[in-house]
Amino acid sequence: MNPLKQKAFPKDKRKLKTTYLLSGFLLLVFLLFSILLAVFTPRVKESKNLEGESYAYLFEGEKGKTYFAGTTDFLEEKEIEDDSKVLELSFKKDLEEKGESLSLLNGSFSGFDFLYSEDQKSLLLFDNVGNLFKYQRKENGFVLSDDYLISQSPLSYRLSTMDNDLLYICAVDNDNGVVIEEYQISNLSQGPIQSKKIWVVDSASGSSYTIKRLEGDTAFWQLSFHSEYLYLTQKNSGIIKINRSLDDYQDISYYEAFDSVYLSVLKESLNALDQKTKEEYGLTEEIIDASSKTQLERYYRQATKKATSSLRKEAKAKFLKENPWCLDYDVSTGRMTIQKDSFDSSNYSIVSRRNCEPVGIIYSSQNDAFYFGDNLDRKVYAIDGRRLDAVKLESGVYLDDLRVDTGISFTNYRFDSNNALFYNQQSNSLYLKFNAKDMTAIITLDGKVKLEKNVKTSFNIRTFVGDKDNRHLHYLADLSVDTWKGSEAATYLYHANSERMVHKGFYSACFWVFFAFALLALLVFLISWIAYLKPSYRKTLGVVKKDVKKNKWVYLALVPFIVLLFLFNYYEAIKSMGLSFFSYTSDKPSYLFNHFGNYIRLLRDKATYQYIGNMLFFLVFDIFLSIVPPVIFAFFLTVMRSKNYSKVMRTLLYIPGIVPGVASMLIWRYSIFGDSGILNRFVTSVLGLERVEFLNNPGIARWSLILMGFPFVGQYIIFYGGLMNIPKDYFEAAEIDGCSLWKRFIHIDLPLLQPQLKYVLVTTILNSVQNYSRTYMLRSAGTTTLSQAMYEGMLAGDYGLAATYAMLIFVFLAAVIVINFRMQKKNYMGGEKA
Amino acid sequence: MKQNKVKRAGQSIPFQVFVYLWVTAAVIFSFIPLYLTFINSFKNPNEVAFDIWSFPGKGMFSTLMENYSSAWKRVSPYFFKTILVALVGAFGVCLLGSILSYILVFKDFYFKNAIFMLFMAVLLVPSIIGYPTLIPLIRDTFHLGDTYFGYVLPTIGGAQVGAMFLFRTFFQQQPKALYESARIDGANDVEIFFKITVPLSLPILLYYALIIFTNIYNDFLWASLILDKNLTMMPAIFSLVDSGAVQYGEMYALYMISSVPLIITTAISMKYFVSGEFASGMKL
C-alpha cells in the first residue's frame, strides 16, 4: 500500500473523532433546545370537560374573578389558570322554590343569555321566552332576587347592553317589529322605563324623509352604546343608530294608524255587501267586528272575488287625507315618506345602507372608536366614535366615508355571525372569531391597529371570552368524537394565554428548525462515528464527500423536486396514515385520538365488507378485460393482411377519445343504461321484454358497470406498440419452421410482450382499486367500492374516516403489488436457472 | 407477398375474414357514445325521449342552435379558465419532468440511484390515499381552497414523477456523441438542456403535454374536492347534469362543447399515437 495513504488514515481518523464528538455535542444541544421549545410552545389547555351539560355559556364576570361558565344546573367561577370553584346556583331549583314562574320555564330553557353587572353586583339572565331574572352576588354564590321580571308577551329574541344601572334590551315583538326597552337593573320588577317600537330614517330627499320600521326577521348581531346612542347591526340594513333617551322619540304610530284606517275600510266594505252574500259566508256584524285583519282580508277575497289591493289604495288615500304630515305611504314595503320637521334624523337613522354587511359592532372607549367586521368584503373596519355620533342624514355622510380600513382582512373566510367580536377594555384589544376555529387578536391603540396576530386554536369554537386582565382567552368548543360506539358529542372548556398564543407559530417554527438541526447532527454523528470505527466506511465517506463537493449544483437543483415530492406525495401518504387515528372533520378539525375508533367502526360495519367485495369483483374483471381482449385485438391488428386497413382502424379507434371521461360516463348512465337508453330500447322493442333497471337493480348494476368498457379494446395500443417492436426475424424463423399462428402467438409474441403486460397489469390494479368515478357518477345501486366510500367521506368532510378507508385501500394495494413483484422475481430467477 | 412460396401463417381467408370482422365491429361499437352525443345534440328533449337512436327530424338546425347556445351559456364561465389551467399544468409538468429526467440521465452523482428509487417508489403509492390530508393542507394551511392555483399545484407536484419516468427512456436513447461534442465546445448544462435535449425530444414533450392537458381537462376527482365555485369543466358538467338542471338535447350539446379542446389535442397527437411509438416507454 502506498505509504502516503497509510499516513493519511490517522489524520482522517483524528478529524473524524473531532467530527463525531462535536456533532454528538451539537446533537444534545439541539435536542435540548427542541425539547424546551416543545414544552414552552403555547397551547390551548383543557380546563373542563362539560360532558353531560347540555348548555354552557361564557360571559365576562367580575374583575379578578374573571368569568363564568354556566349551564342550567351550575354556575362556575373561574380564576385565571386552573383555579375554579363551583358557585351555588341552580336556576331550576331556585325557580321551583319561587313557584309561580315555573310553568313558564317548563321545558323551554334552551336559549338563554347572561349579563354580569359589576356595578350592581348582579347577574342577569334572560331565558328564551323573554323572562329576565336577577341573581344577587353573595359571598359563596348567587341568590335569585325577588326583583325579577316575567314577560307578559313573549318576545322572540333579545340582545342587551348596559350602562351602570340602565339596561337596554333589543327585542322583536309579536308584529315582527324591533322594540327597544330600557330597564333599571336595581328595580327590574317595575318593568321597562321606556319601550319603543323603532322607526329609522332610511333616506332623505328635499324636505322629506323616508322612514321604515325595523323588522326583526333578519338577524341582528350586536348592540353597543356610546354616549347618547345605541348602535345595532342588522344584516340587511347595516348599522343603525338610535338615541338612548327614548323620551325624545316621537312615538310614531303611523303603522298602527294606517292599520286602523285600513281595518275600518275593510269592515265598511264588508258591511256594505248585499245581504245575500253576507248570509252565504256567514258574515254578521259581530263576526266582522271581532275578526282580525288577515281574517277580514280572507272574507273579503272570498265574498267579492277581488284582491284587497284596491282596498289598500282606498285606505291609503283616506289615511293621507287624515294625516297631512305623512306625504306618502308605500303599502307593500312599509316605507313612509314624512315631512322633515316632524322627525330628528340624527337620532334614529341607518348609518350604512350601501355595500355593507356588518357583523358585530363594538365600541372602545379608550380609542373612542367603533369596530365592526364586514362580511361583504371580509374586512375589519374602524369608525371614529365622534364622527359616527355626528352623522346626520342631510349632510350626506354615510358609512362609506366614515369607515377606516384597519388592514385586517380575511378573504377566505366569513366572520362568524355568532359572537364574532369581543372587546376587552383593560388591555384595549379586540378579538375576532372567524371560520369557527381561527381567532385573531388585535391590539388597538388610538383607534389604530397596533398588533394583529392569529391565534390558531383548531377547535370548533362556539363562544369565547377574555378575562379582565386579558391574558387569558376562554373558549367553549364543541367536539364530536367518532368512537366505535358511534359519534359522541362533547363540549369542552378551554383556556389559553392569548398573549403567548400569538407567538405559537414562531415557537413551532423554531422547534422544527432545531429539530431538523438535531436530525442533521444525528446523521453526521452516526456517519462519522461508524466511519471512525470502520475503515471500509471511511473510504466510502471520502467518495461521497468528493461527490457532494463536485456535484453540489446537481444536488441543489434536485432540492425543489424533492420538496415537491415530499410535500405532495410522501407527506400526504404518511399523514393520511396518522389522520386515520383521529376524528377529523371539516367542521371540527381537531386531532383527537379516538382509540382506533375509525378502524373499529369500519371493521364492524357490514357495509365495509360489501365495499371490499365490490372492489374485488371489479378488480378481477378489470384485470381480465384490460389484458385478454386488448392483447387479442392488438395481435389481430398486426396480423391483418392490409396494413392500411389496420392503420385506418387504429386512427378511427382514437377518435371516440374526444368525448371527455365525465361526459362518457354520463352518456352511459342516461343514454345507454337509462330508461329510454338504447339498451332498454333494444330490450323492449326487439326482445319484447319488460324494461330492465340496469343501474338501480343491485344484482344487475355491477354487470352493467363491467359492460361499460365495451368493446374492451382498452390500452391495446401499448400492446400494439410492443408487438411492432418485436424483431421481424423471429416471425420469419418461426414461419420457416412451419410454426402455426397460434403457436407463434404463445411462444414468441406473448413472452416478448411481458414488459407491457406487467405495466398494464400494475396500472390496471392501481386504477381499478382507485376508480371511484365509475360507481359514483353512474349512481348505481349496491356497487359502492372502498374508494367511492372514501370519496364520499371526503365530500362529507369527514377526513378521519376517509383516511381510514384510504389506509384499507393502501394495505390491499401494497399486498397485491408486493405479491406481484415477488412472483415476477421468482419467475425471472427460475427462467435464468433453466 | 403472393410470390412467397412458403404458406404464411394466419393468411388463410376464413381467419382473415374473422380478424377483419372482429376489428371492424370493435371500432363500430366504440363509436356508439360519440354517435349518440352527436345525433342527439340536434334534437329537442321530446325527440330524444321518443327515440334516442334515430336521426333528427325536421327543424334540426334551429334545435341545434338552441341547444348549443343554452349549453354554452351554462359552461362558458368555466370553459376558457379550464383550458388555461390545463395548459399551465401541462407546461409545468413537462418542464419539471424534463429537467428532473435530464439530471437523472446525464449527470453522474453518488446518490443518483437512491434518489431515482425515491421518485419511483411514489408511482407505487396510490395517489388517492393522500387526498384526505391534501385537502386540509391546501385549504387550511396554504389558504388556496377553491382557487385554480391550489388545484393545479398538487397536480404538477404529483405528475412530475410520471413525466420523469417516461422522458427518462427517451433521453437515454438520444445520441451521446451530440452531448460529448457540446461539452467539448464548452457548453454548460443549461445550454445543453435547452439547445440539445429539448429540441431533440420536442415530439415526446409535446405529446406528453397533450396527455397531461387531457388528464387535467378530464379530471373530476381532485377538481370536485378542492374547487367549489371556481369549477373546472368536468365537475361543472357533472353537477349540471346530475342535478337534473339540463334537458336532454342540451345535455348532448354540453358534451359536444366539452369535447372541443379534446378534438384539437386528438388531432395533433393522432399520428404519434396511432403508430404506437410512445408505448415503448410504457413497460415494467
Q: Report the C-alpha gap between B228 and B239 in whole angstroms.
A: 11
Q: CB B53 to CB A681 under 8 A?
A: yes
Q: CB A666 to CB B262 under 8 A?
A: no
Q: Report the C-alpha gap between A255 and A400 in whole angstroms.
A: 31
Q: CB A741 to CB B134 under 8 A?
A: no
Flag whether residue A746 sits within 8 Å of chain B, measured between CB atoms: no
Q: Report the C-alpha gap between A719 and A753 in whole angstroms.
A: 7
- Per-residue pLDDT at B1 exceeds 60: no
- Per-residue pLDDT at B248 exceeds 50: yes
What would the pLDDT profile of A370-400 be if each residue is shown by its tens digit? 888 887 777 888 888 887 777 776 655 566 6
Q: What would the 3-class secondary structure string for A339-373 be? A: EHHHCCCCCEEECCCCCCCEEEEEEECCCCEEEEE
How far is the alpha carbon of B62 from chain A, nearest alpha carbon, in Å? 22
What would the pLDDT profile of B78-130 be if each residue is shown by its tens digit? 999 999 999 999 999 999 999 999 999 888 888 888 888 888 888 777 777 88
How far is the alpha carbon of A484 from chain B, nearest alpha carbon, in Å? 20
Q: CB B259 to CB A663 under 8 A?
A: yes
Q: Which residues contact A560 (CB under 8 A, 6 or more apart)?
A: none
CA dist list (Å): B239 to A666, B38, B235: 11, 21, 6
Q: What is the pLDDT of residue A32?
A: 94
Q: CB A672 to CB B158 under 8 A?
A: no
CB contacts, 8 Å: A570 with chain B: 122, 125
Q: Report the C-alpha gap between B91 and B52 in whole angstroms.
A: 40
Q: CB A554 to CB B126 under 8 A?
A: no
What would the pLDDT profile of A435-470 be if each residue is shown by its tens digit? 656 666 666 666 666 666 666 666 667 777 776 666
Q: Residues A162-181: what's their mean pLDDT?
A: 78
What would the pLDDT profile of A46-101 be if each residue is shown by its tens digit? 777 766 555 566 776 666 555 666 655 556 666 555 555 555 555 556 666 665 54
Q: Residues A196-221: what's their mean pLDDT?
A: 73
All cell numbers assigned to A185: 337593573
Q: What is the pLDDT of residue A480?
A: 62
Q: What is the pLDDT of residue B267?
A: 86
Q: CB A654 to CB B273 under 8 A?
A: yes
How far is the alpha carbon of B146 from chain A, nearest alpha carbon, in Å? 9
Query: Minimal Cα distance from B255: which residue of A?
Result: A663
- Per-residue pLDDT at A3 exceeds 60: no
B77-86, B161-170, B266-275 — most confident range: B77-86
Residues B196, B131: contact at Cβ < 8 Å? no
Flag whether residue A159 sits within 8 Å of chain B, measured between CB atoms: no
CB-neighbour burial class of residue A232 (10 A; exposed 0-12, middle 13-18, buried 19+) = buried
pLDDT top residue among A520 and A113? A520
Q: Which residues pair with A435 in a beta bridge?
A: none
Q: What is the pLDDT of residue A384?
A: 82
User: Which candidate from A555, A641, A678 shows the least CB-CB separation from B16?
Assistant: A641
Find residues 677-736 of chain A whose CB sits inside 8 Å of chain B.
677-678, 681, 710-713, 717-722, 724-725, 734-736
Q: CB B115 to CB A558 under 8 A?
A: yes
Q: CB B134 to CB A637 under 8 A?
A: no
CB contacts, 8 Å: A659 with chain B: 33-34, 37, 255, 259, 262
pLDDT top residue among A833 and B242? B242
Q: What is the pLDDT of residue B80?
A: 92
Q: What is the pLDDT of residue A833?
A: 33
Q: CB A803 to CB B133 under 8 A?
A: yes
Q: Which residues contact A728 (CB under 8 A, 6 or more apart)?
A: none
* Strand (E) or helix (H) holding A488: strand A486-497
All cell numbers assigned to B60: 334540426
Q: CB B259 to CB A660 under 8 A?
A: yes
Q: CB A667 to CB B255 under 8 A?
A: yes
A128-132, A184-188, A452-456 — most confident range: A184-188
What is the C-alpha R_g of chain A? Answer: 39
Find residues 356-415 of chain A whose CB sits inside 8 Å of chain B.
412
Flag whether residue A608 sits within 8 Å of chain B, measured between CB atoms: no
Q: What is the pLDDT of residue A10?
A: 61
CB contacts, 8 Å: A639 with chain B: 10, 19
What would the pLDDT profile of A304-318 be if each residue is shown by its tens digit? 777 777 788 888 888
Q: Report the C-alpha gap between A107 and A361 in whole angstroms.
A: 33
Q: What pairing do the DSSP bridges indicate for beta strands A45-49 and A486-497?
A: antiparallel
Q: What is the pLDDT of residue A830?
A: 39
Q: Report the C-alpha gap between A545 and A565 in whole angstroms.
A: 25
pLDDT top residue among A424 and B90? B90
- Per-residue pLDDT at A207 exceeds 80: no
Average model confidence (pLDDT) across chain A: 76
pTM for the model: 0.68
What would the pLDDT profile of A316-329 be if each residue is shown by its tens digit? 888 888 777 777 77
pLDDT top residue among A178 and A809? A809
Residues B97, B167: contact at Cβ < 8 Å? yes
Sign of the dihedral through C-alpha B37, B42, B47, B53: negative
Nearest CA to B276 among A625, A726, A640, A624?
A726
Q: Residues A590-616: what's their mean pLDDT?
A: 84
Query: Minimal Cα distance from A555: which residue of B?
Result: B109
Residues A317-325: contacts with CB within 8 Å, 24+ apart?
A318/A261, A318/A265, A319/A257, A319/A258, A319/A261, A319/A262, A322/A261, A323/A254, A323/A257
Q: What is the pLDDT of residue A85?
A: 57
Q: CB A565 to CB B122 under 8 A?
A: yes
Candidates A458, A563, A636, partner chain B, best to mutate (most B CBs within 10 A): A636
User: Which candidate from A554, A564, A641 shows the least CB-CB separation from B11?
Assistant: A641
How far is the alpha carbon of A570 from chain B, nearest alpha carbon, in Å? 8
- Per-residue pLDDT at A43 exceeds 70: yes
How far is the alpha carbon of A354 from chain B, nearest alpha carbon, in Å? 25
CB-neighbour burial class of residue A325 (10 A; exposed 0-12, middle 13-18, buried 19+) = exposed
Q: What is the pLDDT of residue B90?
A: 94
A164 phi-psi bin (left φ>0, alpha ψ -120 to 50, beta other): left
Q: CB A720 to CB B276 under 8 A?
A: yes
Q: What pairing do the DSSP bridges indicate for beta strands A75-78 and A45-49?
A: unpaired
Q: CB A658 to CB B130 under 8 A?
A: no
Q: What is the pLDDT of residue A588?
A: 63
Q: How confident is the model at residue B4 (pLDDT cuts 50, 70, 90)?
A: very low
Q: What is the pLDDT of residue B217?
A: 92
Candidates A459, A655, A666, A678, partner chain B, best to mutate (most B CBs within 10 A): A666
Q: How confident is the model at residue A11 (pLDDT cuts 50, 70, 90)?
A: low
All cell numbers assigned to B155: 397536480
The percentage of residues in chain A with a pLDDT greater than 70, rounded to a whole number, is 75
DSSP annotation of B55: P
Nearest CA to A254 among A312, A309, A213?
A213
Q: CB A668 to CB B279 under 8 A?
A: no
Q: Residues A190-198: what's their mean pLDDT?
A: 79
The percentage of residues in chain A with a pLDDT greater than 90, rounded to a whole number, is 6
User: Which candidate from A584, A677, A769 shows the least CB-CB separation from B126?
Assistant: A769
